């Protein structure tokens, strides 16, 4: 159990601030691309 906690701590310490920032940038870009492809909510009968 102690070895598992130690290995978990060591793997978590390898995550740096740049990795988290890169993850958020990629997530933001993916959400932007999905948002641009979303259909508009306009009805033709509303004119």
12-32 pLDDT per residue, tens:
777 788 888 999 999 999 988
For residue 22, the model assigns a pLDDT of: 94
Q: Would you say the pTM of this structure is higher than 0.75?
A: no
For residue 45, the model assigns a pLDDT of: 64
Strand, coil or helix: what is 39? coil
Alpha helices, DSSP H only, in 1-47?
2-13, 17-36
* Between 41 and 16, the higher pLDDT residue: 16
């Amino acid at each position: 159990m102690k070895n598992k906690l130690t290995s978990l701590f060591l793997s978590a310490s390898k995550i740096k601030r740049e990795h988290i920032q890169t993850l958020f940038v990629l997530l933001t870009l993916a959400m932007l691309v999905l948002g641009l492809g979303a259909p508009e909510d306009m009805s033709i009968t509303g004119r």
